[in-house]
Structure 1
């Protein structure tokens, strides 16, 4: 979930407009946000924002605790409008930047916008601080006096969860202003990654193209890609270590001043999830490593005819898998048919993404790696970024990000404060979209070899989503704990990385020299510490949801849409209750893991 692009129909001179193998690939049209970087509408909104923030501070600072219900509602709605305008500006600046991170003009535009928005909104810091000073009994009285105000209770409850960790008004304003410094380290990471050049077989590639080689049928190409990744990351490892040392230390200082008991506390609070629920998820997955990843990779080792797996074999295609390129039109048709098979309303919501410039799909020089769906603001619409290369897994990525987009469109009705979904729930619709696409493809397959390829691909995706992300989470936990003891050398961070990799992948793997640096390219560690467990949470939740769908399909779609429309207005316990599910029950996670095990059981049975 991030940001990116330019005015007009948005074709960068150095960006390929699709290619002959994939068909025409869509690009963003950001004019729904602003017509151009120098558009009068953008200046108008910046001027309005500056004035609105000043007036808000004049009208409400020092008075929040004494407001009646009606005036508090007015304050919340004015603040929400300010959030929407600031969000629109930053969405536009960010989306342009991520589409071409190596362009100095876009970098400057983003930086300037960030600084202006930060300066303008600094006077608003008092708002959440004073909300938290309202006594609990008075807060409940206010909620009971005005139903429109009570609608905001879930968002206010999450704000008030920070009450024990709140600093003085002066310190909070200082930290708000200092946020641009932390953002600069994130941009250093993004620009360094986007600017790396990898040379494989005489061809210069960006990181996305190089990582793509790790799924090539040719083992020599996979090895060449892996060794080139190791070489280039190794040459830049001091920069990445500096970024991680600095951002991790910054977080440690913040946490210490706020009195947060663990480095993960802030993420749990923002995710609106209990620490013990996350711990139960983590423990269930780690305990299942031998039954999941270790067992599957041993199967894969046999299929590949290897004595030992190397790291470049982890995502290798199966020998029986046919090499083919999936065109963009075919990918669209596959996903949309799967969505329609579940409920036609899904395709109605998804269609504009393809037809109105809401997707940017091509791999381009300087474009940010990976994929995301950015919700922008509720009065506009989401934008999806892909780096589409025509691999079968790219189809699943499209299904995943389109699921995010559908979720964000449905939740927009909640408004700016309540539409935003905690990360743990934000992955629900995306992973469900993948599951729908996979099940559709599996149901249409009669060939046993093709069924095995589909099952194996799904198992690998689930392992990458559950096992790998929990290993990432453990890496972060160890990294942040170690950083509290002092500066970490690149070798220190490498050692932490290898400790979780060996445990999660299992004994069938050997690790080439240089693999220890592969932590360096994972953006979540820098942008959103401890984000990664949300993927495992989402996968486990969706597996349980899909099992409920299979057991009782009648009326499921309406309940599912209601859940997505709720956005961030309900706690995960409330959202899952209509389905008879409860994530606080440790057995809940076993249900999700059991689905992966059943797929592996079927794969093993095919060997007999």
Structure 2
């Protein structure tokens, strides 16, 4: 394997056995003890100057503690079958948990301060850069427990929900698949099988997806146990913290009212007929009476164009250059800096992600590149995440990470830039049809499908509160929620009943999926403004990304003219999707 297709983690630490890494764990422990000794029980007594100093120390400490943990996560994601990586990952997880329990007092003492002195501190100009952080903390006042209770919950999670999450990751990465293809039996990874959903051969698409899902069905006992325990743990935490709905903690942290999320989901479901209209159109393009769900991403021409990694890299950088030279340079820095792990292989995490590190370290990208157009789009997507993190490096640690509703904004915008570039460069009408179909399918996947995932997850948590959910019941819920989207326009293959079992967001981040729907509709709005304003829009968009998590989502997006609370805003995004479908019809 070419070394330039693997990321280089040595700028973090030379090796898992390096003395620098061992020292980072030791020094972190000592520095946490010193911080606790200095501030525990005294936070409420600090004036603005004292709190500013404490916050800066706290941030510095968080960065030092995060670095070895992030390093361990990167190694484990790249190869979860290595015993050395497993041990380091577990050590880092236990270290992070222990340090978090020692530091939990700091946030709690801020949250539990009396209203008047807290408000006075939050309004002080000395603490202006931390005002948003303090205000967000305060929203959780009625949902926090005592330090002893919070510490015990965190400690027990190591052998509880975190252990089940780890089990899910290790089993998922260990699964092997065999598929007969072109007259020979091949061993493949899950990512390679899923990539075949874009293959022109109808039968191969169905066999590949069926093979993938049947292996998950074979492990149904494990997957259903993990999902049940994750949901049960969440249910118990809701009760302990006095939340009324499974989505409430996520919405509170996202600074989006419950009714706005409900509006987003309702408007999305009301527009499912748009997707069904496209599915019927796609069936006509493929010359079949009705799609199966294995046909949704099928190419509409016989061309099975493959892209090399270098071609994909050049296309991605060029797409960002069409927007801004600065963005192109930031995009290319991932490749020149060897911070991208490219190819699928046994033991490597599935899917793709961008690991945002800390403000003083650049992010890393994990891909599972197999050479189809979707993989090129995924590269542009993850690079967008990376640019978001790089621009947000003007923020300090507590304001660095963008809030969940904006987490996918830069990534989806990057995909739009790539599509626009390809459509403008292409002269062949048939290829333009393919590109337009791919973009419509991307939007459907990023809005409607994510809405289905959110609805399934919400239903799973609500029904788990009434008792254990069998694998069969989870399958039924999954089938019913997907049927709302597909209607009579798409036939689901029977193995798809286990489609819930490989969605890692259900395990790692409660209700993350609606952030994709939110981001897509936000990007459709921002992109329309960009097409009208061109160069004058670039600094507006740059500032939105550079704000990181220093403001609420609403305040961050206000310069872009976006108002979350208006249901017509969500509908406007779907109206643009309707226009794309009309454009495709016109090409026909």
State if a TM-score over 0.5 links the two structures.
yes
Offset at residue 200 of structure 1 (A): 0.7
1:170 maps to: 148
User: Deviations for 1:326-378, whole angstroms, at most 9, x for unmatched residues?
Assistant: 11111111111111111111012122201111111111111000001001111
Contact 1:129 1:166 in 2 (8 A): yes
Alignment of structure 1 residues 78-93 onto 2, 5 Å: 78-93=57-72
2:383 maps to: 402
Q: Does 1:214 align with 2:197?
A: yes
Q: Secondary structure at the match of 1:395?
A: helix
Q: Distance in 1 between matches of 2:434 and 2:411?
A: 22
Q: Does 1:249 align with 2:228?
A: no
User: Deviations for 1:258-280, whole angstroms, at most 9, x for unmatched residues?
Assistant: 01111001111222222222111
Q: Secondary structure at the match of 2:271?
A: helix
Q: Does 1:464 align with 2:448?
A: no
Offset at residue 25 of structure 1 (A): 5.4
1:156 maps to: 134
Offset at residue 455 of structure 1 (A): 0.4
Alignment of structure 1 residues 386-425 onto 2, 5 Å: 386-425=367-406
1:4 maps to: none
Q: Distance in 1 between matches of 2:525 and 2:125?
A: 37
Match of 1:285 among 268, 272, 290: 268
Alignment of structure 1 residues 69-84 onto 2, 5 Å: 69-84=48-63
Q: Which segment drifts farther, 368-377 or 349-358?
A: 349-358
Q: Does 1:269 align with 2:248?
A: no
Q: Which segment drifts farther, 418-427 or 119-128?
A: 119-128
User: Deviations for 1:134-176, whole angstroms, at most 9, x for unmatched residues?
Assistant: 22321232234442x2211111211111111011221111112
Tell me, which stretches of 5 or more residues in structure 2 are unaligned?
none
Offset at residue 249 of structure 1 (A): 0.3
Match of 1:438 among 401, 404, 419: 419
Q: Secondary structure at the match of 1:342?
A: coil
Q: Distance in 2 between matches of 1:227 and 1:556?
A: 45
Contact 1:70 1:146 in 2 (8 A): no
Contact 1:321 1:453 in 2 (8 A): no
Contact 2:198 2:205 in 1 (8 A): yes
1:204 maps to: 187
2:84 maps to: 105
Q: Which segment drifts farther, 39-48 or 90-99?
A: 39-48
Q: Secondary structure at the match of 2:10?
A: helix
User: Deviations for 1:22-56, whole angstroms, at most 9, x for unmatched residues?
Assistant: xx852111112111112222122212211111111
Offset at residue 416 of structure 1 (A): 0.8
Q: Which segment drifts farther, 334-343 or 549-558?
A: 549-558
User: Deviations for 1:485-538, whole angstroms, at most 9, x for unmatched residues?
Assistant: 000000110000001111112212222222101110111011112100000100
Q: Distance in 2 between matches of 1:387 and 1:145?
A: 48
Match of 1:183 among 162, 167, 170: 162
Write out the 4+ residue segments of structure 1 that deviate beyond 4 Å after TM superposition. none
Q: Distance in 2 between matches of 1:142 and 1:398?
A: 44
Q: Distance in 2 between matches of 1:503 and 1:421?
A: 32
Q: Does 1:333 align with 2:321?
A: no
Contact 1:25 1:328 in 2 (8 A): no
Contact 1:52 1:82 in 2 (8 A): yes
User: Deviations for 1:399-438, whole angstroms, at most 9, x for unmatched residues?
Assistant: 0000000010110220110011111101111111111111
Q: Does 1:577 align with 2:558?
A: yes
Match of 1:496 among 462, 477, 481: 477
User: Deviations for 1:113-137, whole angstroms, at most 9, x for unmatched residues?
Assistant: 2112322332211111110112232
Q: Distance in 2 between matches of 1:330 and 1:488?
A: 46
Q: Distance in 1 between matches of 2:247 and 2:16?
A: 38
Contact 1:369 1:387 in 2 (8 A): yes
Q: Distance in 2 between matches of 1:142 and 1:120?
A: 27
User: Deviations for 1:41-85, whole angstroms, at most 9, x for unmatched residues?
Assistant: 212221221111111111111111111111111111111112101
Q: Distance in 2 between matches of 1:330 and 1:241?
A: 41
Q: Distance in 2 between matches of 1:390 and 1:531?
A: 28
Q: Distance in 2 between matches of 1:122 and 1:284?
A: 41
Contact 2:342 2:368 in 1 (8 A): yes
Q: Does 1:295 align with 2:271?
A: no
2:97 maps to: 118
Q: Distance in 2 between matches of 1:580 and 1:461?
A: 24
Contact 1:125 1:176 in 2 (8 A): no
Q: Distance in 2 between matches of 1:298 and 1:128?
A: 53
Q: Distance in 2 between matches of 1:569 and 1:179?
A: 29
**TM-score of the superposed pair, with normalisation by structure 1:** 0.94
2:539 maps to: 558
Q: Secondary structure at the match of 1:313?
A: coil
User: Deviations for 1:544-599, whole angstroms, at most 9, x for unmatched residues?
Assistant: 00111123335210111111110001112212222222122111111211121111
Match of 1:511 among 492, 499, 502: 492
Q: Does 1:542 align with 2:551?
A: no
Contact 1:32 1:380 in 2 (8 A): no
Q: Secondary structure at the match of 1:322?
A: coil
Offset at residue 321 of structure 1 (A): 5.1
Q: Which segment drifts farther, 443-452 or 88-97?
A: 443-452
Q: Distance in 2 between matches of 1:579 and 1:309?
A: 38
How many residues of Structure 1 are paired with residues of Structure 2 in the alignment? 583
1:21 maps to: none
Q: Secondary structure at the match of 2:100?
A: helix
1:143 maps to: 122
Match of 1:373 among 354, 375, 388: 354
Contact 2:351 2:368 in 1 (8 A): yes
Contact 2:319 2:418 in 1 (8 A): yes
**Alignment RMSD (CA, Å):** 1.3
Alignment of structure 1 residues 314-333 onto 2, 5 Å: 314-318=296-300, 320=301, 322-333=303-314
Match of 1:361 among 335, 342, 354: 342
Q: Distance in 2 between matches of 1:238 and 1:170?
A: 35
Q: Secondary structure at the match of 2:227?
A: helix
**TM-score of the superposed pair, with normalisation by structure 2:** 0.97
